[in-house]
Amino acid sequence: MNALYLAYAYLRYNWARSLVLVLVAALIMFVPVATQTLLSTSERALVARGEATPLLLGARGSQLDLTMAALYFGEERPEPVAMAEVEAIWDSGLGVPIPVHTAFSSGGFRIVGTTLDYFDFRDLGIAQGRGLSVLGDAVIGASVAQALGKGVGDALVSSPENLFDLDGVYPLEMPIVGVLAPTNTPDDEAIFVDIKTAWVIQGIGHGHEDVVTANDVANGTAALANAAVVQYQRITEDNIDSFHFHGSQDGFPTSAVVVVPNDTRAATILKGRYLDGNGPTQLIEPAGVIQGLVDRIFRIKALLDVVTTIIAIAALAAIGLAVFLSYRLRAKEIATAVKLGARKGMVLRLLSAETITLLLLSALLAGLGAMVVSRNAEAWVGWLLALGT
Amino acid sequence: MGVGLKRLLMGGAVAAMATGALAQDRPQIIVVNQALELMAEALVGEAADVVFPVPEGVDPSFWRPSISDISEIQGADLILLNGAGFATWIDRVTLPRARVVNTSAALEDQFIVTQSITHSHGEGEEHSHEGLASYLWLDPTLAVAQADAIAAALVLRGIAEAEDLETALDAFTADLTALDAQTATALEGAGDVQIIATHPRYEYFARRYGLNIASLEWDAGAMPTDAELDGLAAMAADTGATVLIWEATPPAEAFAATEGLGLANVVFDPLAFNSDAGSYVDAVGRAVDDLANALN
């Protein structure tokens, strides 16, 4: 009689025990593979953002803070740099500078004031609506739209940054004119506005006051996007022409400047210009900063590998013991088979067929799980990384 | 390298190989006034489409583009700004900085400060804005500098062949240099004559040729009101002006009314509005001839 058929009949008869063995063996195979896949995808995702940003200009200080603020739109607040630095790079003709102003937020998401060049640089596409056109417009990332339940036609109000701000600068209501296609990057978690809009929020630019007051709200003449805010300014068709900026744009602030050099030579020349340790600005390579951070974080990976190995050995030993004990329990059954004329080889084939069938089923299950993780790793990692910003 | 990054680094330019291709394939250059349109056309020839999107009769300084206008401007390969505070709408519109060129960036030390406006917002403190004269292209030497900036931008973005551009720029510069010399000769000694302009447009022209031009704030091409005519009469009496410069041709009654005040009328298109002005040299040359005749 076919050994595989007998093995199959035995496993089916003892289905509960077989199922437990298959699941345990599948988990032992799946967990290390899934962990490795997710960790390597995380590492790639973290480093990729840095590698996709050739150079970063900012105020001298923590390189990590600068990188986290400009690339991941974190809570860090690097000292601002003047827009004159942006113009200096334009004038050099060595690359394209893209200012990134990340000082404000709305609904728990960073407001990123920048220029249209940022969208070209990151290859960001509009999924709904249109891109930034006029002062006050906001384009939101896919995750922002999902989390806030907002879309084109809705509005956002910038969060007041300082409760004791007595300068009379009110939060700004910004119409959402577009939603970006998802990218599984921090761009999904950002609210993009023209950098000039960020300056309006900052109070550098302003128009004739058109402040929506608590009375307007009480009278039902204004829709309030944030219950905590009772007064905010709004840029409308009627007052947009009155908006203006004070002073030279060269003195206006930006949190950081993404610099896209024309080529390697231009990058080298640019880096050379910011080597002075006493200068107010620094030009860094975000890839190096992120790699350093990732290297530190992923030192834990080595520990994780050891733990996984120990657990796997323990689990394999447990399975081996279970199989051994099951053989002991089946001693009478095996003796009966021998008495019926089964040779030792036949008994061995029978037991081997059972074990191999169990392992194949476990491997199949683990393989399917690994495939699911592999296919969704980028999305899951993007989501996990976004949780930390 | 991503498509977006390539476009960014190329400044959105189509390579010079696009020259001579079908019109719809040609790079598009957006300008903010007619003077820049005429300069760009003189330089680029058939290699690109030069578009001045402001409709006729609308002051390009205070134009408010629609969303579709902005979309067209954002899609252009090159956007030429005048600078010096001209076209305030650019402060309220999102533009791709990589494709924007301020043609007067190198001329800031030559700007004319016109006035300081003091105002306040709500209950905020009073503050001042410095005003700048922005029609700097009416000084041919500054126009040549703007043309230089345009040519450099066209070369950098590969919109036109460098050799063709050099030839066109040399010809344009020669024309403007000749115009500058002719104007200086034609208006020699005119500084003794007081001139009134219906709008403050001619500060750089006046500085270049030593003219005394006082300005009103009349609407271009419109029939002045009685109050405006009274104001003109008072100014003419105060200054002893004998010539009135119009930026656009007004109704015939307006000419008659100002002639009645003893003023010779001259129409000097400052090449800001969208109109059929011809070439820069022709338009300014005509105005200079008319002005010289009026002064004589």
| Residues A314, A184 share a domain | no
Q: pLDDT at position A211, please? A: 52
Q: Which of B64, B121, B129 is the closest to A241 by Cβ?
A: B64
Of all helices (H) and strands (E), which one includes residue A185?
Answer: none
Higher-confidence residue of B95 and B14: namely B95
Indicate yes or no: CB of A115 within 8 angstroms of CB of B97.
Answer: yes
Q: In this complex, is the C-beta atom of A209 within 8 Å of any C-beta atom belonging to chain B? A: yes
Would you say residue A277 lies in a domain?
yes
ipTM over 0.85: no
Q: Please, are residues A347 and A332 in contact by the beta-carbon 8 Å criterion?
A: no
| Residues A90, A218 share a domain | yes
**What integer is the mean pLDDT of B51-71?**
93
- Cβ neighbour number for residue A309 with a 10 Å cutoff: 11
> What backbone torsions phi and psi does residue A366 show, to the nearest 5 degrees?
-65, -40
Pick from B273, B45, B266: which is nearest to B171 by CA?
B45
**Last residue in a domain, options A254, A284, A314:** A284
Q: Which of A137, A168, A241 is the closest to B94 by Cβ?
A: A137
Which structural domains are found in chain B, ordered by start?
Answer: 7-116+127-180 (3.40.50.1980), 188-295 (3.40.50.1980)
Q: In this complex, is the C-beta atom of A35 within 8 Å of any C-beta atom belonging to chain B? A: no
| Residues A165, A97 share a domain | yes
Q: In this complex, is the C-beta atom of B152 within 8 Å of any C-beta atom belonging to chain A? A: no
Residue of B nearest to A86 (CA): B97
Separation between Cα atoms, residue B83 and residue B111, nearest integer Å: 10
> What backbone torsions phi and psi does residue B213 show, to the nearest 5 degrees?
-120, 115
**Last residue in a domain, options A229, A259, A284:** A284
* Rounded-to-10 torsion of CA B264, B270, B274, B276: 60
How far B215 CA sits from the closest chain A CA (Å)? 24
Domain of A18 in residue numbering reads as 3-46+298-387
Q: What is the pLDDT of residues B135-158, one digit of tens each?
A: 999 999 999 999 999 999 999 889
Tokens of A74: 């974190």
Pick from A111, A242, B123: which is nearest to A234 by CA?
A242
Separation between Cα atoms, residue A172 and residue A207, nearest integer Å: 12
- Cβ neighbour number for residue B152 with a 10 Å cutoff: 16
Would you say residue A137 lies in a domain?
yes
DSSP per residue, B31-57? ESSHHHHHHHHHHHTTSSEEE--SPTT
Would you say residue A289 lies in a domain?
no
Indicate yes or no: CB of A116 within 8 angstroms of CB of B67.
Answer: no
| Residues A302, A204 share a domain | no
**Last residue in a domain, options A257, A284, A311:** A284
How far A171 CA sits from the closest chain B CA (Å)? 15
Token pair 């992120």 is at which residue? A290
Q: Any idea what DSSP says for residue B93?
A: B
Region class of B36: left (phi > 0), else alpha (psi between -120 and 50), else beta: alpha
| Residues A16, A136 share a domain | no
Q: pLDDT at position A227, please? A: 39
Q: Please, are residues B16 and B36 in contact by the beta-carbon 8 Å criterion?
A: no
Percent share of chain B, pLDDT over 90: 74
DSSP tally for chain B: helices H, then strands E: 9, 10
Q: pLDDT at position A218, please? A: 53
Of all helices (H) and strands (E), which one includes residue B248?
Answer: none
Q: Which of B62, B92, B98 is the closest to A135 by Cβ?
A: B92
Pick from B66, B71, B81, B74: which is nearest to B31 by CA?
B81
Would you say residue A365 lies in a domain?
yes
| Residues A89, A37 share a domain | no
How far A113 CA sits from the closest chain B CA (Å)? 11
Indicate yes or no: CB of B67 within 8 angstroms of CB of A135.
Answer: no
Percent share of chain B, pLDDT over 70: 86
Mean pLDDT of chain B: 88
Q: What is the pLDDT of residues A32-47, one digit of tens each?
A: 888 888 888 888 888 8
How far A4 CA sits from the closest chain B CA (Å)? 55
Q: Which of A116, A137, A244 is the closest to B95 by Cβ?
A: A116
Give B124's contacts in chain A (Cβ within 8 Å). 168
**What integer is the mean pLDDT of B251-265?**
94
**pTM for this predicted structure:** 0.79
Q: Please, are residues A225 and A157 in contact by the beta-carbon 8 Å criterion?
A: yes
Q: Which residues contact B155 (CB under 8 A, 6 or more apart)?
A: B162, B165
Q: Which of A101, A117, A246 best tests the B interface by mutation, with the highest count of B CBs <10 A?
A: A117
Residue of A nearest to B127 (CA): A246
Tokens of A120: 């070209």
| Residues A208, A303 share a domain | no
Q: How many domains does chain A have?
A: 2
| Residues A336, A189 share a domain | no
Would you say residue A28 lies in a domain?
yes
Q: Please count the residue pairs, one from chain A and one from chain B, whose beta carbons lie less than 8 angstroms apart.
A: 88
- Cβ neighbour number for residue B226 with a 10 Å cutoff: 8
| Residues A242, A101 share a domain | yes
Would you say residue A109 lies in a domain?
yes
| Residues A159, A240 share a domain | yes
Instruction: Give B6-10's long-range contacts (Cβ < 8 A, gap of 24+).
Output: B7/A120, B8/A96, B8/A117, B8/A120, B8/A121, B8/A260, B8/B98, B9/A96, B9/A260, B9/A262, B10/B157, B10/B158
| Residues A176, A78 share a domain | yes
| Residues A160, A69 share a domain | yes
Q: Which of A85, A114, A133, A193 best tests the B interface by mutation, with the highest count of B CBs <10 A?
A: A133
Q: Which residues contact B14 (CB under 8 A, 6 or more apart)?
A: B25, B26, B27, B77, B158, B159
Residue of B nearest to A239 (CA): B92
- Cβ neighbour number for residue B210 with a 10 Å cutoff: 13
Residue of A nearest to B69 (CA): A133
Q: Please, are residues B172 and B154 in contact by the beta-carbon 8 Å criterion?
A: no
Q: What is the mean pLDDT of each run of 10 residues along chain A (389 residues)?
A: 80 87 87 85 85 95 93 91 94 94 94 96 96 96 95 92 55 95 92 95 75 54 44 81 83 96 95 90 94 82 81 82 82 85 84 88 93 88 67
DSSP bridge partners of B243: B195, B264
Q: Which residues contact B146 (CB under 8 A, 6 or more apart)?
A: B35, B36, B39, B82, B103, B104, B107, B136, B137
How far B98 CA sits from the closest chain A CA (Å)? 6
Would you say residue A358 lies in a domain?
yes
